[in-house]
Amino acid sequence: MQRTILKNKNQITLISAILIVFVYISKWTTGSTDLFIWPLIIASILGVAPIAIQAYQALRVKVVSIDVLVSIAVIGAFVIQNYEESAIVTFLFLFGSWLEQRTLNKTRSAIRELTEMAPESALKLSADGSFNEVGIEEVAVGDVLLVKTGAKIPVDGRVLNGEGHVNEAGITGESVPARKEKDANIYAGTILENGTLQITADRVGEDTTFGRIIELVEEAQDSKSEAERFIDRFSKYYTPVVLVLAFAVWLITGNFELAITILVLGCPGALVIGVPVSNVAGIGNGARHGILLKGSEIIRDFSRTDTMVFDKTGTLTIGNPSVSETMFYADDKEEVLGYLASIERESDHPLARAVLEEIGGTTFSPVQNTEVVKGAGITAEVNGHRVAVGNVALMEREQVPFNEEAKADIAHLVESGNSLVLTSVDGVLKVLMGVRDPIRKGVRNDLRRLRKMGIKNLVVLSGDNQGTVDVVSRELGLTEAHGHMLPEDKATYIKKLKKEGRTVAFVGDGVNDSPSLALADVGIAMGNGTDVAIETSDVVLVNSDFSRLPHALGLTKATSFNMKQNIAIAVGVVLILLGGLLFSEWVNMSVGMLVHELSILVVILNGMRLLGYRPRQSYKK
């Protein structure tokens, strides 16, 4: 019976509205009161039924909810035979509940749109060379898939053959379709607008970028901010206080109608709903624009950030360095390059990839007794020779002497903003390479926007040499630049900033950034970074789009301010109604319930404004 009543709550609301309208039309047209009482009684009984059931369910778990206050108020109206008030109050409460749910559904639409984008099938290459449609759960890493025009891309992967334009708005927030050709990266949930692609699957199911977006956003919605937790605690005690206050007013004044009116006016509905709706809308906006905010607590911390610290490689730079200059100090060039390539092919460091690309085809030799020197480089034995590959610190550790020519070359490369890769064989310097990693396009403008939005300190920390870091810092106009930083040094620096009372956000992408991402007040990971970095971060910029960072900061500031607006609206309405009740005659039970429901609708609509948030024009490039 209870389930049936709650299931048909909307229909009950409609019937109550019809009965109330019928009564007023009858009263105004005929002047007769014969048909006036019973429709109001029926409307009151129908309306209070679902409210009373919800009140009973709340009391069973020892919670005094808004439904309890309204149920008592309606019963009180019955006792004093004010059926008009009881009918209107129940209708307004049910109608407000319907409006609230309908508006909240729109607020959550950004999240729902994401889940609806999930691909359900794929065209998979079979052993006979044909492509057959299979369920997405049957696709494994390494499978070759065919994507046709208009189809959703089912996995994260790379293009093997073909070309076309892919709409990546659901993942990156970028509205302009991206051109894809051989070896280009693609993402599950995006749509191939034209062309045909054969792709190989690198990530499938929940491991795809799209799958992680949905998971992170759902987790974020379930989390509660400090403000929400405070309001939950406040409501837990506030509602019983309203009951006691109404009872005390009745005992003191003997005015039962005044007491039940206080119950209606004291409903904290707008206060309870205001903060969650702001959070959900803010998180939804971020998800639609390639920004994952992992919870409501992050919104508060990020909005207060005054210091932003960046890793250099892969964050401020594109993470795809190339060799700019090479100097040799021996005649056995080919042999030394073979040793260098043999060691570097065992490393996944961006500098190693750049060196291998520069060397190209060569003769590889077996590598033994490899030792990775943290923050310095690698030593190993190759064909019976001790080979060291790394920076100046490693050469000093290996006691490799530098002649005047080498010292001048090193100074020149450092001043030009190069990272250094030195190679010694048996304690003799053989090769010096300068490697440069281009700065991301538009980063300077993005950093300027961050300054305008209240970030006072912009700091870069890097394991690279100080000269290279200084060049990047000057080019980007950063506040501070620190080179030769090991992962533990970065973490120590973050701790130091926090002890100084700064609210710190750290932006990085590698495994070595994970300690700093975890220690900072807000850890921000580039979406193309390592899984460890993404897991330990609080905010993820999908597709490593640095230009989303100002949007993310502006969004959290707007969301935090929106929460405060909603709290002010909710508290202000209650104070105005109570003041009107005590010092004027315009407030009664029906008016109180009407204003109460309108206030709920106002805070929801105010929160929904965040769905359309864009950074202010003055912040744009």
CATH number of the domain to which 149 belongs: 2.70.150.10
pLDDT confidence bin for 266, thresholds 50/70/90: confident
- Separation in Å, CA 355 to CA 171, 322, 347, 366: 33, 7, 11, 18
Task: Decide if pLDDT at 617 tops 70.
Answer: no
59 and 159 assigned to the same domain: no
Mean pLDDT of 160-185: 75
Q: What is the pLDDT of residue 241?
A: 80
Please compute Rg for the chain using Cα positions: 33
Q: What is the pLDDT of residue 529?
A: 54
Range(s) of the domain holding residue 130? 120-206
Count of domains forming the chain = 3
126 and 49 assigned to the same domain: no
Highest mean pLDDT among 452-461, 583-592, 596-605: 452-461
Strands of the 457-461 sheet, one edge to the other: 291-293, 539-541, 522-526, 504-508, 307-311, 457-461, 480-482
Q: Is residue 407 part of a domain?
A: yes
Q: What is the pLDDT of residue 351?
A: 77
73 and 151 assigned to the same domain: no
Locate all alpha helices (DSSP H) within 389-436, ordered by sequence: 392-397, 404-415
Q: Is residue 419 part of a domain?
A: yes
101 and 124 assigned to the same domain: no
> Is the CB of residue 497 less than 8 Å from the CB of residue 452?
no
Question: Could you say which of 190, 206, 222 is where a domain stops?
Answer: 206
Highest mean pLDDT among 289-298, 544-553, 568-577: 544-553
Task: Decide if pLDDT at 113 tops 60.
Answer: no
CA–CA gap between residue 370 and residue 605 (Å, rounded) = 62
Strands of the 377-382 sheet, one edge to the other: 322-328, 428-436, 419-425, 385-390, 377-382, 367-373
Task: Decide if pLDDT at 51 tops 90.
Answer: no
Cα–Cα–Cα angle for 547, 549, 552, rounded to 5 degrees: 125
CA–CA gap between residue 342 and residue 335 (Å, rounded) = 11
Q: What is the pLDDT of residue 407?
A: 92
> Is the CB of residue 278 less than 8 Å from the CB of residue 559?
yes
Other beta carbons within 10 angstroms of residue 469's beta carbon come to 26
32 DSSP assignment? -
CA–CA gap between residue 388 and residue 431 (Å, rounded) = 11
13 and 44 assigned to the same domain: yes
150 and 187 assigned to the same domain: yes
CA–CA gap between residue 236 and residue 310 (Å, rounded) = 43
Mean pLDDT of 608-621: 68
CA–CA gap between residue 292 and residue 303 (Å, rounded) = 15
Mean pLDDT of 148-174: 79
CA–CA gap between residue 569 and residue 235 (Å, rounded) = 16
The residue whose two tokens read 């064989």 is: 425
Strand partners, 474: none
Task: Decide if pLDDT at 310 tops 90.
Answer: yes
Task: Decide if pLDDT at 114 tops 60.
Answer: no
CA–CA gap between residue 607 and residue 71 (Å, rounded) = 28
pLDDT confidence bin for 1, thresholds 50/70/90: confident
Catalytically active residues are: 311
360 and 418 assigned to the same domain: yes
The residue whose two tokens read 């007023």 is: 24
Mean pLDDT of 115-131: 80
200 and 128 assigned to the same domain: yes
Task: Decide if pLDDT at 162 tops 50.
Answer: yes
pLDDT confidence bin for 98, thresholds 50/70/90: confident
130 and 92 assigned to the same domain: no
Strand partners, 62: none
Highest mean pLDDT among 241-245, 496-500, 567-571: 496-500
Question: Could you say which of 411, 436, 461 is where a domain stops?
Answer: 436
Question: Could you say which of 407, 436, 465 is where a domain stops?
Answer: 436
**How is residue 462 written in tokens?**
């890097």
**How is residue 194 written in tokens?**
């034209």
Mean pLDDT of 380-399: 90
* Least confidently predicted of 426-435, 456-465, 537-546: 537-546
* Stronger pLDDT, 31 or 80, i.e. the higher one: 80
- The tens digit of pLDDT for each residue in 56-80 reads 887 787 776 667 777 777 787 777 7
> Is the CB of residue 51 less than 8 Å from the CB of residue 94?
yes
Instruction: Label residue 28 left, alpha or beta by phi (over 0 means left) and psi (-120 to 50 means alpha).
Output: alpha
352 and 392 assigned to the same domain: yes
The residue whose two tokens read 């959900």 is: 280
Mean pLDDT of 569-586: 81
Helices 443-452 & 466-476, crossing angle to 10 degrees?
A: 70
CATH number at residue 350: 3.40.1110.10
- The tens digit of pLDDT for each residue in 517-538 reads 888 889 898 876 555 556 667 8
- Separation in Å, CA 210 to CA 225, 288, 312, 609: 25, 12, 26, 25
Highest mean pLDDT among 176-185, 256-265, 332-341, 462-471: 332-341
